[in-house]
């Protein structure tokens, strides 16, 4: 067996090794969760009135490798946040809203305790779409997600899991900031490190 074949076999063993640890917890799942959300704009709206809270929800599909690890793909609607240019520093329209959606892939680690209970933490990365109010239009970029919480799977009914936790979706925005000084309209570009955080309650169906 040559070196190339040995390397391929080693790589395959590394990828498949988690499946070798599969137990009664392993299998596919689908989930739905939602709750109140807060938009942190990194002071991008200093001269605006920002309605920074709403409700967000997400849907997930994934595979539980064993009782310790799962992988998933998630779609999240991160809410709608009203913006009003109270000072008239930007171009019209002076009122609108920002909406955010993202799709991420992630991995979740679990720490079981008690009958059916587990603490969990999720890390994810993906793409986010932003629909900005007024002339700023649409934008897209990279988003990172961190989440943690507690879940419970009734020992006598493992097809169902309920969970409570929080998530933070973080992303960088390079935005054109408009200013109207003395009747002269101009703009400049600036980077903002924003996030949308949410508390959520969720349910999963395990197959």
Higher local confidence (pLDDT), 111 or 23: 111
Bridge partner list, 89: none
Taking only the tens place, the pLDDT of each residue in 100-132 is 999 999 999 999 998 999 999 999 999 999 887
* Long-range Cβ pairs for the range 187-193 (8 Å, 24+): 190/44, 192/41, 192/42, 192/43, 192/44, 193/42
90 touches 178 (CB < 8 A): yes
CATH code, residues 24-206: 2.40.160.20
What is the spatial distance between Cα 172 and Cα 141, in angstroms, rounded to a whole number? 8
Dig out the tokens for 120 from the structure. 């969990």
Q: What is the pTM of this model?
A: 0.80
Whether 161 and 153 have beta carbons less than 8 Å apart is answered as: yes
Q: Which residue blocks in 29-155 are alpha helix, DSSP H?
A: none
Domains of the chain, by residue range, sit at 24-206
The percent helix, strand, coil of the chain (3-state, each to 5) is 10, 65, 25
Mean pLDDT of all residues in 178-207: 82
d(CA 149, CA 111): 11
45: phi then psi, degrees, rounded to nearest 5: -105, 45
Tokens representing 107 are: 């991995």
């Amino acid at each position: 067996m040559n070196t190339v074949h040995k390397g391929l076999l080693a790589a395959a063993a590394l990828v498949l090794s988690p499946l070798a640890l599969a137990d009664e917890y392993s299998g596919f799942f689908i989930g739905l969760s939602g709750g109140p959300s807060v938009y942190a704009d990194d002071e991008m709206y200093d001269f605006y009135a920002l309605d920074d809270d709403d409700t967000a929800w997400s849907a997930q599909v994934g595979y539980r490798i064993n009782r310790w690890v799962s992988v998933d793909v998630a779609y999240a609607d991160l809410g709608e946040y009203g913006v009003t240019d109270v000072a008239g520093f930007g171009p019209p329209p002076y009122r609108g809203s920002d909406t955010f959606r993202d799709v991420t892939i992630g991995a979740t680690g679990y720490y079981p305790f008690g009958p059916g209970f587990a603490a969990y933490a999720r890390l994810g990365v993906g793409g986010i779409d932003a629909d900005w109010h007024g002339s700023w239009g649409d934008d897209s970029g990279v988003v990172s997600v961190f989440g943690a919480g507690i879940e419970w799977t009734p020992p006598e009914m493992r097809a169902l899991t309920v969970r409570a936790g929080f998530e933070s979706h973080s992303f960088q925005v390079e935005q054109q900031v408009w200013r109207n000084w003395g009747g002269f309209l101009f703009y400049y570009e600036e980077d903002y490190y924003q996030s949308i955080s949410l508390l959520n309650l969720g349910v999963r169906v395990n197959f």
